[in-house]
Structure 1
Amino acid sequence: MSAVHRKGRNLKLLTAALLASATCAGDVLAQEQAADTGGIQDVVVTARKRAETTQDVPVAVTAISAEKILNYDLSNLERVAAQTPSFVIGRSPSGSGATLVLRGIGSNTTSIGLEQSVAVIVDGAYYGQGRTINEGFFDLGRLEILKGPQALFFGKNATAGVVSITTADPGDRLEVIARAGYEFKAQQMVGEAILSTPVSDTLGVRLAMRASKMGRGYFDQIGTDQIYPTSDRISTAQVVTPTNHVSGPAGDDRGKEFYVRGTVKWEPTSDFTATVKANFGTNEIDNPSAASVLYYCPTGASAGNPAIACGRSFRSSANRFPAAIAASVPYANASGQTGNSYRSWAVNANLNWQLDALSLSSVTNYNWNRNIFQFDGDSVSRAGAPGVFATEWSTYHAFSEELRALTSYDGPVNAMLGGYYQKTKRDYLAWTASGGLENSGAPQSWQRYLANSKDSQTKGETIAAFGQVIVNPSDRIELTGGVRYTHETKDSYFLQPYSHPIRVAQGIFLPNTRIDSNLSFDNWSPEATISFKPVRDITLYGAYKTAYKSGGFSNSGILSPSAGLADFEFDPEKAKGFEVGVKTMLFDRQLRFNVIAYSYKYSNLQLDFFRSDTFAFTTINAGSARTRGVELEFEYAPRSIDGLDIHGTLNYNRARYGDAIGAPCYAGQTRDRGCNLVYVDDGSANGTARPFNPATDAAANRQNLKGSPTANAPEWTASLGVNYETPISAGWTLGLSADGRYSASYLASAFGNPYTRQHRYVSLDASLRLSSEDERWELAVIGKNLTNRWYATGGTDAPNTGGGTGTLSGTIADQIGFASQPRTVQVQATFRY
């Protein structure tokens, strides 16, 4: 069967499923278009919670089909981002666990209290944590990336965009899929098993499982045995003989994962559908900082270990916990081996009723995750007291309910009305050994080698109401206007149960002092859109959009005598602006060509900053930022060449800070490089900043980021790809795919540090597939990042490096980049029945 005919058949099935479960049940133009053969077939999306084609919906949306997900084994969000221009995901060993960035707007990684500016929606439910990237997104129905503010339809915290994931449902026939793969670089074995079957005329079930195990890591580890000395004392006046502990190399980033998802779909009548999904997953990795690469150092080598050269290569270094520390610190592996263990489960229920002219929907979700990590906080194999070893235990619970009603009267006016409720709880515990500190007289035995421990919690509650009026003055024009009202509360506390007496005397930590935070936020986020279809295959639209991301509390901060509640609390982030677009199908639907232009302003951008020289964290609202850009995309599928599809994008995005007075300086930034302001605690959430005064100030500590680019914001990105399927002999089809992505240079840091610049690069993915005509058998070879380009997807200053910040002669800190994966090649065999 040709690719074009198969796409047409898949579209019919997908459209039918969406019409049965979507919140809108009116006539959908996609039904008529799906009957076409050849050329470009439409892709149905639910970007506005109703079934529409990508060409009709007045939203900047990238739809990734289930077919492409399989062709490239896009089984997690990092792999999706690696193929999507203007979308960046950077994995971090600590803090929030990841940064998700669209069009240069995202939340950095160092605070677990920051929710993402790019919301992840799974089967209609909101997942806002960075560690969501550890989930196993496989056996999918579709994946949609919505760019720009998306407040009205997707719950909360979508100031930069939304990644909407829909997992596969049971079909109307028995389906058995078995898939096995092997990736050579990581020596990773992957297996999937899917069983889907109707139980009766009204009931269907689907069970999907995926597991993998790595024989080695993606990154070469160059760490060596190091000595970590500890001194058993409680004051600097004491003179004691240090005890030397051996710290072996941490090893590579090998890991294993297991995911299972069960789905039950019940359709007792043509007017009612109930779908319940439950999933469980575990994800473990031996070295969570393996991808943290020292890629820039002022001397060319690590400040902590001159034997470690800095460079843009797929290698890093770290050490195990010394045995004595591993035996005492909570949640440390007995062997001292570093690691990260993520576990999650969730239950999701979607109910849909179709009345005469009214669609009702309900999405109920409960999700839970627990993350435990143990890592070398230096991210470099080094000896001496500056070494940092840390463990963390955190859990997150979220319950949510969304109700929505949508009318479909024959008249020109219809409406959507809904409500949303969410209740969350985050618990956070952390323990850090550093500075060669030891205290045999500590109150608890597990505190002996600790410099500090943390205990924090945040309970959140969200209540929202939203509505939209839809006006169709003619068959060609649609006017919509809507608003979401949100009320949120977040109640938090932070406590350091233990701090070493020396660190207390030095004024670094303030133990046994609890700070409490009770925050409340209210927001109205309106939007309006006008769309016009002069002919069937052309859509023009303009939209005004706003969005809001709640403020909060930095659970992973540090409390010192000079810090207070204002250093932990941060205000909401907001967005507003315009976009216009032209979506076309040309030349007898052989060419899809779309152009979208946008301009959005972000205020109170939420940023967290790690001060490497003082080993402290600061969470702030960094003034404003603006993104302006133009995005072009095309797809060409000539009817004269059955099975050929050529596609590409070209994007210009300028993301720059506006007035951002009071942003932290990067480590080693001197006054002549812009670190020329001084923080003033005026009792407000972020304080203020004044010009540096040499008569009264020892050093400056703030800057104005105005005009600097935001993090992970290349001005130019592009992609070009081809997919071709053709019969090669009786009963067999050959498939070829290749997709290249170009990125211009950008800064990997949010604070204007020129030494974090990532140079321009091109990455290439490709796959080769041989399948039987009945699609029962397929053998594939999948290559990703075949150009083997190293690039940073985020980063931070290396701990205990850099100095002289805000003076006339600073030393730049070593730079750690969260690196992309190297070249990988995977063979994969699939059997379907």
Structure 2
Amino acid sequence: MTQRLSKACLFAAVSSMALSGAVYAQTDTEGASDRRTIDVVTVTAQQRQQSAQDVPISLGAYGAEELRAAGVQDIKDLISISPGLMVTSTQAETITTARIRGIGTVGDNFGLESSVGVYIDGVFRARNGVGFSDLGELERIEVLRGPQGTLFGKNTSAGVLNVVTASPEFEFGGSLQGEFGNFDYRRYSGHLTGPIGDTLAVRLFAAVGERDGFTNLTVREPGGTRETDSETNNYYTFRAQALWAPSDMVEGRFIADYTRRNEFCCSAVQWQTAPGPAALIGAVGGQVLNPADPSERRAFANREYQQQVTDYGFSAEFDIEMPIGTLTTITAWRDWRNQRTQDIDFTSADIAYRADGNSTNVTRFDQEIRLTGVTGDLDWLVGGIISHEDLTLNDAIRFGADWEVYLGLAASNGADPLFISNTLNAVAGGPLFAPGQALPGGSGVNQDVYNQTSTSWALFTHNTYQLTDQLAITGGLRYTNENKRVFATFDTSPVPGCAFLETVFGADPIAGSAGTPLAGLVPLICLPYARTGLDATGYDRSRTDEEISGTIRATYDVNDDVMVYAGFSRGFKAGGFNLDREFNGPVSGGSFTDSDSSFLPETIDAWEIGFKSQLFGNVLQLNGNAFYQEVTDFQLNTFTGLAFVVQNIPEIEARGVELDFTWATPIEGLDISGGYAHVRARYGNTPDTPANLAGRNISLSPENFVTGQALYSQPIADNLLFRAAVDARWVSEYNTGSDLAPGKEQPAFTMVNGRVGLGSLDGRWNVELWGRNLTDETYVQVAFDQFAQTGTFGGFLGAPRTWGVTLRTEW
């Protein structure tokens, strides 16, 4: 109670400062008139062009200059200047998770969609990982905090990352840029823009990048080991745009883009090593770093990590001025493909792996129509959208040649490497299995194929009514209907030991062996990848979810410089299916006949009060809010060390405060901005909440975020311009594991980035020196249970210190 009261008092004090500052600004305009002021940032957070200071929601709006100074090229880079935002990637850079106010969905399972929606040029991207690619030339990025379920729709229950790239111009121009840095980093990019006739302008952008890996990887091969890099960078991207303006009444924007990545990613270091599993790995000829030392950035494998990503699409947006308002249509089609191989035990022992044939393909079509207008005191919007998505996932996890010996040593406390064969032979009453043939290398999943189709449609309206000159009410409603169907086939390459146990104990050998001396051993011999109970039937399931979401907000202009607001909003994310093997249905004829891997929809109800202010003649912008959110049926994805499990957590509560400021300082050319977020997101204490989670802070959710950025530019000669920038981010400690195991904690840390440059005043040339993570902090994005190694946690690390030089010319 004391903490809540203190936070409330702090928020009230800041609000009072804003209001008193506004009064001061009105009485000191003479002094302020000679000062630099803060530029207005135009956003489309409400699908209309508005000043960020007029939108009654908590948001961060970052323009091209701030993004360039912070070195933002993808959504993960954005965390350095956006408080309350977390972006992490794990076993592949395509598997990326964004969180806002602590809420987000772990992305290792493609059956789960993020709670934070990513939109690029008005087009929804189906998974956060697609935003990890080089975003190219950016006009701005908007971080919308809290549910955005009215205008942006499904899968925005925690917030939205709205990315807007630079559009074509009706003046000729272009640029060339080269970047060079440590880890043999090279990136070349350029753009051309200009008119073709009087009504058409085009913009072409291309970039290619390469970089050596951040991790030293020891790969065990027949006859020895070799050293190589992991987490490399190797891609190219292209974007073509056309802006068509045949009249003052019609404007069309067409975009086509293509990105190709072919990289060696992603290995994991030992974040915490348990002596027992480390000894077992050594006993079968493998290696791990024991004791763990993540700062060495050293990893081990017996197979390479390959990642190939192809992402391309087309969109067309039209704005047509009509007598009753503006009609906007957006048509988009996208195709995203990923292929990868992986050593899933993250050691140089040959225990388990993903071989060739593992791939994901997401194809999506969206058609959205909006009509906006102003009638008297009513600013109104109505619209609808229909989407269709096809997802195909091919997965094949197989056991390595060392698996049987490793498991035998583990089950016999290191005493008998032939324990599995000997035990099964004893059950069979004869020499059924030769040593190593009960769980032979290469057995496991031959090929699992998941085909999921999703069709969604929605109708929505969002309206603001000006009750008085100072008071306005905003209300919005959205009806969403989504249908998903998954058809999955399973093909298990024979695992003789498990096949024998299935004949002894039935298609569900784990349940069948309960109460027998083998009850503890059967689940290890018959891991999901070894069981055949789904091969004959597979999955054929469907579900339909529908929801009414919306918002209601009141806005009051205290004066021309200060606005206060309060509101409620509801966000919704549809249910889905765990795209992994689940054996949870009835057994008939030796097969599972009705396995159900579905999970429920997730909803968020959020209450928020806040203020936005432009003080001292718009020399200082200060915004703040307090929020409270309730999440129902949170979709939690957890890796147990053997398989992924998806469960709905009945209740999560998140509360906190957020503050942002931008200050045009008295020092000519120096602007300072920053933010603070206090977020306390906790699981509830309901009877259905797992005991290891109840009442605790959710994973990947620090309680405190502090960010700051200083930009300085000043002419130092008749034709020279000096620029400097520094940004920093501090977060308090947090747990990175879905199960909140103590060993998965990340201590508090600070990240500092910097940039200094010199160029011509007309922009013809520019040279910059830059560095990221200047203090070389070693921190883990996500720590996880390593495959079949109890007490050992692997870690996917953030990038180390990088530095380099950028050369740029513009015309």
TM-score using structure 1 length: 0.81
Give the secondary-structure state (helix, strand or coil) at the position aligned to 1:80: helix
Match of residue 656, structure 2, among 621, 629, 651:
629
Kept in 2, the 8 Å contact 1:82–1:88? The answer is no
How far did residue 312 of structure 1 move? 3.1
Q: Deviation digits for residues 469-509 of structure 1, max 9, x if unmatched? A: 32101222220111110000001022211232333444432
Shift of the 448–712 alpha-carbon distance from structure 1 to 2, 3 Å rule, reads: closer
How far did residue 94 of structure 1 move? 5.2
Shift of the 42–420 alpha-carbon distance from structure 1 to 2, 3 Å rule, reads: same
Kept in 2, the 8 Å contact 1:402–1:421? The answer is yes
Q: Deviation digits for residues 646-684 of structure 1, max 9, x if unmatched? A: 111121110100135556xxxxxxxxxxxxxxxxxxxxx
| Partner of residue 425, structure 1 | 390
Q: Where does 1:501-512 land on structure 2 (aligned, <5 Å)?
A: 501-502=495-496, 503-506=498-501, 507=509, 508=526, 509-510=531-532, 511-512=535-536
Q: Where does 1:445-594 land on structure 2 (aligned, <5 Å)?
A: 449-452=442-445, 453-502=447-496, 503-506=498-501, 507=509, 508=526, 509-510=531-532, 511-559=535-583, 568-594=597-623
Kept in 1, the 8 Å contact 2:80–2:728? The answer is no
Q: Deviation digits for residues 120-158 of structure 1, max 9, x if unmatched? A: 001111113132134321111211111111111113210
| Partner of residue 308, structure 1 | 289
Kept in 1, the 8 Å contact 2:58–2:145? The answer is yes
How far did residue 560 of structure 1 move? 7.7
Match of residue 743, structure 2, among 755, 767, 771:
755
| Partner of residue 186, structure 2 | 189
For 1:470 and 1:147, how far apart are their aligned partners in 2? 20
Match of residue 657, structure 1, among 665, 676, 683:
683
- Letter in structure 1 aligned against 2:294: R
How far did residue 198 of structure 1 move? 1.0
Q: Deviation digits for residues 550-608 of structure 1, max 9, x if unmatched? A: 11112234558888866521111100020111111111211111111100010111012
For 2:225 and 2:484, how far apart are their aligned partners in 1? 41
| Partner of residue 687, structure 1 | none
For 2:727 and 2:48, how far apart are their aligned partners in 1? 30
For 2:775 and 2:92, how far apart are their aligned partners in 1? 29
Q: Deviation digits for residues 18-71 of structure 1, max 9, x if unmatched? A: xxxxxxxxxxxxxxxxx9982211111111011111111111111111112222
CA RMSD, Structure 1 to Structure 2 (Å): 2.4
Q: Where does 1:606-645 land on structure 2 (aligned, <5 Å)?
A: 606-612=635-641, 615-638=642-665, 640-645=666-671
For 1:155 and 1:192, how far apart are their aligned partners in 2? 34
For 1:543 and 1:766, how far apart are their aligned partners in 2? 38
For 2:650 and 2:293, how far apart are their aligned partners in 1? 33
Kept in 1, the 8 Å contact 2:585–2:595? The answer is no
Shift of the 579–218 alpha-carbon distance from structure 1 to 2, 3 Å rule, reads: same
Kept in 1, the 8 Å contact 2:94–2:130? The answer is no
| Partner of residue 388, structure 1 | 353
Residue-pair matches, total: 702
| Partner of residue 241, structure 1 | none
| Partner of residue 444, structure 1 | none
For 1:471 and 1:742, how far apart are their aligned partners in 2? 40
Match of residue 376, structure 1, among 343, 348, 356:
343
For 1:469 and 1:498, how far apart are their aligned partners in 2? 55
Equivalent pairs: percent with the same residue?
24
For 1:552 and 1:768, how far apart are their aligned partners in 2? 48
Kept in 2, the 8 Å contact 1:558–1:617? The answer is no
| Partner of residue 765, structure 1 | 753
| Partner of residue 13, structure 2 | none
Give the secondary-structure state (helix, strand or coil) at the position aligned to 2:799: coil
Q: Deviation digits for residues 778-830 of structure 1, max 9, x if unmatched? A: 1111211111112222232111111xxxxxxxxxx211222110011021011
Give the secondary-structure state (helix, strand or coil) at the position aligned to 1:55: helix
How far did residue 92 of structure 1 move? 1.8
For 2:51 and 2:278, how far apart are their aligned partners in 1? 52
Instruction: Say yes or no: does 1:294 pair with 2:270.
Output: yes
Q: For structure 1, which runs of at least 5 residues remain unmatched after alignment?
A: 1-34, 228-244, 322-336, 439-446, 664-701, 803-812
- Letter in structure 2 aligned against 1:587: F
| Partner of residue 172, structure 1 | 170
Shift of the 58–36 alpha-carbon distance from structure 1 to 2, 3 Å rule, reads: farther
Match of residue 135, structure 1, among 133, 136, 150:
133
Instruction: Say yes or no: does 1:217 pair with 2:182.
Output: no
Give the secondary-structure state (helix, strand or coil) at the position aligned to 1:707: coil
Kept in 2, the 8 Å contact 1:484–1:524? The answer is yes
How far did residue 341 of structure 1 move? 0.3
How far did residue 623 of structure 1 move? 1.5
Is 599-608 or 294-303 further displaced after alignment? Answer: 294-303
| Partner of residue 277, structure 1 | 255
By percentage of residues, which structure has more helix? 2
Is 250-259 or 538-547 further displaced after alignment? Answer: 250-259
For 1:799 and 1:642, how far apart are their aligned partners in 2? 57
| Partner of residue 715, structure 1 | 703
Shift of the 516–599 alpha-carbon distance from structure 1 to 2, 3 Å rule, reads: same
Q: Deviation digits for residues 507-552 of structure 1, max 9, x if unmatched? A: 4322333111111111000211111112112111111010001111
How far did residue 255 of structure 1 move? 2.8
For 1:389 and 1:660, how far apart are their aligned partners in 2? 38
Give the secondary-structure state (helix, strand or coil) at the position aligned to 1:762: strand
Q: Deviation digits for residues 658-711 of structure 1, max 9, x if unmatched? A: 135556xxxxxxxxxxxxxxxxxxxxxxxxxxxxxxxxxxxxxx5352211111
- Letter in structure 2 aligned against 1:318: F
For 2:243 and 2:105, how far apart are their aligned partners in 1? 36
Instruction: Say yes or no: does 1:208 pair with 2:205.
Output: yes
For 1:114 and 1:573, how far apart are their aligned partners in 2? 11
Shift of the 355–749 alpha-carbon distance from structure 1 to 2, 3 Å rule, reads: same
| Partner of residue 320, structure 2 | 353
For 1:561 and 1:53, how far apart are their aligned partners in 2? 54
Instruction: Say yes or no: does 1:731 pair with 2:719.
Output: yes
Give the secondary-structure state (helix, strand or coil) at the position aligned to 2:370: strand
Shift of the 161–285 alpha-carbon distance from structure 1 to 2, 3 Å rule, reads: same
TM-score using structure 2 length: 0.83
Kept in 2, the 8 Å contact 1:250–1:317? The answer is no
- Letter in structure 1 aligned against 2:442: Y
Q: Deviation digits for residues 613-669 of structure 1, max 9, x if unmatched? A: xx222111111111100011112113x422110111121110100135556xxxxxx
For 1:289 and 1:316, how far apart are their aligned partners in 2? 12
How far did residue 252 of structure 1 move? 2.4
Give the secondary-structure state (helix, strand or coil) at the position aligned to 1:225: strand
Kept in 2, the 8 Å contact 1:96–1:113? The answer is no
Give the secondary-structure state (helix, strand or coil) at the position aligned to 2:65: helix
